[in-house]
Amino acid sequence: MRRTRWQTLLGVVAVVGVLVALLTTWLDRSGPGMPHVPWPVVVVELLIAAVVFSMGWAVRQFLHGKRPGLDPIRAARTAVLAKAACYTGALLTGWYGGQVAAYLADTAIPANAGRAGPAAVAAGGAVVLAAVGLVVEWFCRVPPQDDEKERERGATPDPAAS
């Protein structure tokens, strides 16, 4: 599995943010508008980030020899969870960031000022989730074996040397 590139996540944030800003503006002008962002959103985002980080920390401790045993399936699931946290954080950052951009761009509607704050806080929590996902992916990186290092340098290992 390849590590997630931060450039890819920024692309996801930009595309989703633009689409949501357009959707938010359209809904505000034609109907009831977007639903308000509830405060528990940030708590849930940070709680998920903490769980992902704690699972990643256990894998890191094992890889550094500070933890006696770790189920390989758990380590693989942690790496997949970290990748999911990256993309979820990017999607939510775009979602809430797009709402903030739309609310701040259209200050003619008085309620927009009060709706931009919670959406901005939720976007900040989503950034934390994506960043934790990237860090945990880095924690789950397994150093290459000696044979793999030789192949990367272009040399073939000598079978007689074994």
Encode 92-117 in three state secondary structure. Answer: HHHHHHHHHHHHHHCCCCCHHHHHHH
The contacts of residue 18 (CB under 8 Å, 6+ apart) are 98
Look at residue 63 and tell me if it is in a domain.
yes
What's the number of CA atoms in the CB half-sphere (13 Å) around residue 130?
A: 23
Are the C-beta atoms of residues 59 and 71 closer than 8 Å to each other? no
- What span, in angstroms and rounded, lies between the C-alpha atoms of 67 and 54? 14
Q: Residue range 71-82: average pLDDT?
A: 89
For the chain, the first-to-last Cα distance in angstroms comes to 29
Domain count for the chain, please give it.
1
pLDDT of 38 > 70? The answer is yes
Q: How high is the pLDDT of residue 149?
A: 55
Q: How high is the pLDDT of residue 146?
A: 60
**Helices 6-30 and 111-139, axial angle in degrees (round to 10):** 160
- What span, in angstroms and rounded, lies between the C-alpha atoms of 41 and 131? 17
Write out the residue range of the structural domain in which residue 99 sits: 6-142
Look at residue 85 and tell me if it is in a domain.
yes
Look at residue 44 and tell me if it is in a domain.
yes
pLDDT of 58 > 80? The answer is yes
Q: How high is the pLDDT of residue 63?
A: 83
Q: Residue range 28-54: average pLDDT?
A: 91
